[in-house]
Structure 1
Amino acid sequence: MPAHKKQRFTLWEFFQSLGKTFMLPVALLSFCGIMLGIGSSLSSRDVITLLPVLGNPVLQLIFVWMSKVGSFAFSFLPVMFAIAIPLGMARENKGVAAFSGFVGFTVLNLAVNFYLTANGTLPTTDPAVLKANNIQMILGIQSIDTGILGAVIVGIIVYRLHERFNTIRLPDALAFFGGTRFVPIVTTVVLGLVGLLIPLIWPFFAAGITGLGRLIQGAGVFGPMIFGSGERFLLPFGLQHILVALIRFTEAGGTLDVCGREVSGALTIFQAQLSCPTTHGFSESATQFLSQGKMPAFLGGLPGAALAMYHCAKPENRHKIKGLLISGVVACVVGGTTEPIEFLFLFVAPALYVIHAFLTGLGFTVMSVLGVTIGNTDGNIIDFVVFGILHGTATKWYLVPVVAAIWFAGYYAIFRFSITRFNIKTPGRESDSLPAAAAVPSSSKSGYNVPAILSALGGAGNIVSLDNCITRLRLSVADMTLVDDATLKANRAIGVVHLNEHNLQVVIGPQVQSVKDELDVLIRAAASPAAAEPLIV
């Protein structure tokens, strides 16, 4: 997309943009977790004893290869965040921003190593000294393990440096070092200085995270509920990734010794145990914040809500919404993406969403109380099979269908009663007809009428910035009055969230990346002086 005039981020928008950048490494984590889960499960002695055919040497080599490749993302998680944050937040020259993220993360750890060496802490191999100072090998460098939080700090600093200096002009004698080349240079200097401060300030950050972890852990069985409900409450605002990252990757999600190494964060602990050959079973204190807690709502509750909405629709409209509801259920159950269903009732019945958030949190607590130990990130049927069934009855996977069935019945009853009793305008019950949607162009890869969506957003000239997360377009517009919510919904937008007078989100669903890409093409075509007429995608 062509460069638009730069806009100043509000704090709200900054955290939304930051949370969005987490999705690139988290998506890789999810995939690598599945590979690691399948590989470690099918190469375990218990599974081979149960199914001797899997003991074939060729198959075992394949499974071990899957485990090794799958463990990659967890071994280099912090550096991936340090790269992904400036990559995702930079408005232009994103490749330079990503490269500078790697430079900044490496230089930070080299500077920390320099400080610890200068004050006599390093070099040492004494386990007591290393543990007391939280020193680990990071990219081959002995340094303080700042984990994901340190990577986030690096990413934010690099992003700010990139935005400030990527177009800088230097005197002619130094012009070679100007522009984008200056970004990694200034990053080296600034992060080198920040690295000298890390040993002095890090204990305060660590204490704060540990305090948050103790607060959540101290809530007992309600700790998982606080996390699960909090994630749902933050989701409409796009801020859930901040809370999730704290629990998954920092001391707030617990700390445990795995294979002789202290590991922090619920997901990090789970994956470390998954790849540790001497570990049998998974820590309940970690898995209580992971996939298993989502399964009652994702595999049972939301499908029940979808069925209730279908039965409550006007008979003549049911065939119109059947595809919408089925695709939403498939995205939820198979992909772990809930927004296509949640946004069908979020705006027309916020009270139902509040109930849904509490029931989701209750699902986390129930799974924890029952002693279920199924990890990973998505809470979908894939996680249930790979990290539950394939790891045997020790995970208590057989309790998930029982609880999910209860949640299905509960959601169906609550939603059907509420919709009919309070005449909630869920899909198929609208009294006013929506504007007619134009036919989708045959060349559209996304399956959406993207030119109509762009027109409903006020046209290319109204778009100040455009980005997307997993299911939503995130936009800034010059004039919000030009945005036509009804036409957007007529063209299959699930919901429209107006954040303030210039910023909004359009909920598309799983195909949002394709829609965003096609919008970019149309906006570039409109901005091109050579464009005689609009480009039809």
Structure 2
Amino acid sequence: MSKKNKIMDFFSALGRSLMLPIATLAAAGLILGLSSALLKPQIQAALPFLQNSVVVYVLTLIKTITATVFGMIPVLFAICIAFGLAKEEKEIAAFAGFIGYYTFLLSASIIINSGAFNFASLKMSNILGIEKTIEMGAFAGILTGILTSMLHNKFYKIDFPIAIAFYGGKRFVAIVVIGAMTLLGQVMPFVWVPISSGINSLGSLIASSGHTGVFLFGFLERILIPTGLHHVLNGVFRTTSVGGVYQGVEGCLNIFLQFFDKVDISQLKQFTAFLGQGKMPFMMFGLPAAAYAIYKTSPDNKKPKVKALMVAGVAASIVSGITEPLEFSFMFIAPQLFLFHAIMGGISFGILSLLGVAIGNTGGGIIDFLIYGVLVPGSRWYIVILVGIVFAVIYYMVFKWYFTNKNISIDVNEDVEEEDFSKDSSGKTNLAVKIINGLGGIDNIVAVNNCISRLRVDIKDMSLVNEDLLKKTGSMGIVKPSLTHIHVIYGPKVEKVAKQVKEAMKY
């Protein structure tokens, strides 16, 4: 495998690994936002029953518990990245990820508190009960997860002589991780000061770029969609100092959720600029208008199937902020339109930042819009609607002109077969069997995973993949980030599809 393919596979796997904690944070964020909004005096004045002591207690309980989740981001990253990057025995890697993270913090604390060296310029905190240890934020979790997975993949099958055979294999993983993270904890306090200084400088550069920096972020966030690397970009901005620092808290998402109910929302708009608000004009207005244009320009014999595809895609985009079903419907037949869409994404982020909108969380769909926009005084949520209407007109006109001028229509796979989750005599679902065959057969598949909308598969030989067969299974698009990794887009139903494929591969 070439070096380029290895790098692409690694970052693709890293992005996939970040999806579980990020999805957890998004769900917790919705609950936190709703409970915090209902505790605001303005909302309670409008809805007097919210002032009842029992209601206040329950809402405060929910808010406090969900807010705690965001202080656990580094350890969640350590566990989930170790789990996601492990080839086999993933649960062992996840366990070692937690052990490694705790060991790293404890080791760093020991040398910091030894008094032998001066670490006055180092940022320190109390984490997981460990007093005065190095504060690296999400980077500590990411670094621990990556190193743990590397050690796990190298040693989980190791054999020892009979006398100490008990400590071989998967039992050795935690042992070697403890040793490695102890050493890393001794070294990192010396090297983190210049590294953190560089990261903070990058964050300051982006912040000083103002609305231009926000535009570039929005453009990159969309243009990276085909590779799946937008998860990495978002993760860095949301959880590290690249996304900003406010009263000692790093990352735009962390800052927003920790101070959402403590300061006026206007003080957080420089951080919400990198969150879900920038997606709302094109998720709730632009892409639905594009979908309507695609439907209107389709040949009459294709319209029923195009309509079904577009309606499902629009629903996913507006409600849950999942845009891939729509984006992949035109990405390959009209790449110029996807470039246009990415530029509009950047404009969307930039213009909402320019107009002082302050709507947080990550989704970008109507749920976030209502909870963090409409229910929050001073969020300027109405600007999203005004900008969205303009976006809808532009998207519709551009897409209609392009499809009409080029005389093209999207591929709806008129021979696509109905989803069939019934099982054959061996216990495999018929759909899973077709997907496995489309991927070149079970012997060609190395690993199967999924994110929020894609089946992510590591394979041995890309030439054995049958794209036509995969499209007949209901796939909305196919992406090949490298020669050994393929993404098959199924939209929100991908969780069920992935489960069926994994079960079929066990037989």
**Please, what TM-score do these two structures have when normalized by structure 2?**
0.94
**Counterpart-to-counterpart distance in 1, 2:429 and 2:197:** 49
The alpha-carbon distance between structure 1 residues 179 and 284, as it changes in their structure 2 partners (threshold 3 A), is same
Q: Does 1:265 align with 2:251?
A: yes
**Is 2:306 the counterpart of 1:321?**
yes
What's the counterpart of residue 464 of structure 1? Answer: 446
The letter for the 2-side match of 1:482 is L
**Other structure's SS at 2:65 match:** helix
The structure 1 residue matched to 2:105, chosen from 97, 106, 109, is: 109
Shift of 1:51: 1.9
Q: Which residue of 2 aligns with 1:385?
A: 370
Q: Structure 1 residue 436: deviation in Å?
A: 5.2
Counterpart in the other structure of 2:165? 175
User: Where does residue 397 of structure 2 map in the other structure?
Assistant: 413
Aligned to 1:358: 343
Residue 447 to residue 227, structure 1, CA distance change in 2 (3 Å): farther
SS in 1 for 2:333: coil
Which segment is superposed worse, 202-211 or 343-352?
A: 202-211
Q: What code does the residue aligned with 1:52 have?
A: P
Once the two structures are superposed, the pairs formed by residues 122-133 of structure 1 within 5 Å of their partners are 132-133=121-122
Alpha-carbon separation, structure 2, partners of 1:91 and 1:9: 17
**1:244 alignment partner AA:** N
Q: Which residue of 2 aligns with 1:404?
A: 388
Does 1:23 pair with 2:19? Answer: yes
Q: More relative contact order in 1 or in 2 (CA 8 Å, sep 6+)? A: 2
> What's 1:440 paired with?
420
Matched with 2:288 is 303
Deviations 1:483-508 (A, max 9, x none): 22122212210111233433322111
- The CA deviation at 1:516 is 1.4
Q: Distance in 2 between matches of 1:416 and 1:351?
A: 13
Which amino acid in the other structure matches residue 231 of structure 2? H
Counterparts of 1:8 and 1:87, CA distance in 2: 23
Q: Show CA shifts across 1:311-364 (max 9, x none).
A: 011122211121211111111111111100000011111110000000011001
Please, which of 129, 132, 136 is the counterpart of residue 140 of structure 1?
A: 129
Q: Does 1:221 align with 2:211?
A: yes
Q: Which runs of 5+ in 2 are unaligned?
A: none
Indicate conservation of the 8 Å contact 1:313/1:427, yes or no. Answer: no
CA-atom RMSD in angstroms: 2.2
Q: Which amino acid aligns with 2:303?
A: R
- Map 1:510-525 onto structure 2 (within 5 A): 510-525=492-507
Which residue of the other structure, out of 56, 66, 69, is the alignment partner of 1:70? 66
Letter in 1 for 2:25: L
- Are 1:37 and 2:21 counterparts? no
User: How many Å separate the matches in 2 of 1:307 and 1:447?
Assistant: 34
SS at match of 1:475: strand
Cα separation, 1, equivalents of 2:197 and 2:325? 39
The worse-fitting range, judged by mean Cα deviation, of 103-112 and 207-216 is 207-216
Matched residues in 2 for 1:318 and 1:387: separation? 37
Q: What residue number does 1:153 align with? A: 143
Aligned-partner Cα distance in 1 for 2:128–2:81 = 19
1:241 and 2:226 aligned:
no
Partner deviation per Cα, 1:74-131 (whole Å, 9 max, x = no partner): 0111111011101111121111111111111111111111111113579xxxxxx87x
What is residue 339 of structure 1 aligned with on the other side? 324
Equivalent AA in structure 2 for residue 325 of structure 1: M
Residue 360 (structure 2) aligns with: 375
Which residue is equivalent to 2:467?
485
- Report SS of the residue matched to 2:458: strand
Cα distance change of structure 1 residues 343 and 139 upon mapping to structure 2, 3 Å threshold: same
Q: Which runs of 4+ in 1 moved over 4 A?
A: 278-282, 433-436, 443-448
Q: Percent identity?
A: 36
Q: How far is 1:291 from its partner?
A: 1.1
**Cα 1:61–1:509, aligned 2, differ >3 Å: closer, same or farther?**
same
Q: Which piece of structure 1 moves more, 498-507 or 53-62? A: 498-507
Alpha-carbon distance in 2 for matches of 1:312, 1:64? 51
Q: 1:351 to 1:217 in 2, by over 3 A?
A: same
The DSSP-based 3-state class of the residue aligned with 1:408 is helix
Comparing 141-150 with 440-449, greater Cα deviation is found at 440-449
Q: What is the DSSP-based 3-state SS (H/G/I as helix, E as strand, rest coil) of the residue aligned with 2:302? A: helix
Q: Give the secondary structure class of the aligned counterpart of 1:391.
A: coil
Cα pair distance change 1:460/1:434, threshold 3 Å:
farther
Of 485, 491, 494, 2:476 maps to: 494
* Secondary structure of the corresponding residue to residue 283 of structure 1: helix
Amino acid at match of 2:147: I
Q: Is the 8 A contact 1:344 1:426 kept in 2?
A: yes
CA distance in 1, matches of 2:418, 2:252: 47
Structure 1 counterpart of 2:83, from 84, 87, 106: 87
Q: Is the 8 A contact 2:9 2:484 kept in 1?
A: no
- Secondary structure (helix, strand or coil) at the match of 1:498 reads strand
Deviation at 1:478?
Answer: 3.1
C-alpha contact 2:265 2:358 (8 A) present in aligned 1:
no
| Aligned CA distance change for structure 1 residues 191 and 356 (closer, same or farther; 3 Å) | same
* Match runs of 1:285-300 below 5 Å: 285-300=270-285
Q: Equivalents in 2 of 1:363, 1:313: separation in Å?
A: 28
Work out the number of aligned pairs and report it.
502
Residues 368-377 or 441-450, more deviating: 441-450
What is the SS of the residue equivalent to 2:491? Answer: coil
**Partner Cα separation in structure 2 for residue 112 and residue 311 of structure 1:** 62
Shift of 1:377: 0.5
Which segments of 5 or more consecutive residues in structure 1 lack a partner in the other structure? 1-6, 123-128, 526-537
Kindly tell me: are residues 201 and 446 of structure 1, through their superposed partners in 2, closer, same or farther at Cα, counting changes over 3 Å? farther
Provide the C-alpha distance between the structure 2 equivalents of 1:388 and 1:397, rounded to a whole number of angstroms: 5
The 5-angstrom pairing of residues 200-219 of structure 1 reads 200-219=190-209
- Is the 2:454–2:489 contact (alpha carbons within 8 Å) kept by the matching residues of 1? yes
Q: Aligned in 2, Cα 1:446/1:254: closer, same or farther, shift over 3 Å?
A: farther
Matched with 1:426 is 410
Q: Equivalent residue for 1:184?
A: 174
Contact 2:253 2:275 in 1 (8 A): yes
| Per-residue deviation, 1:8 | 12
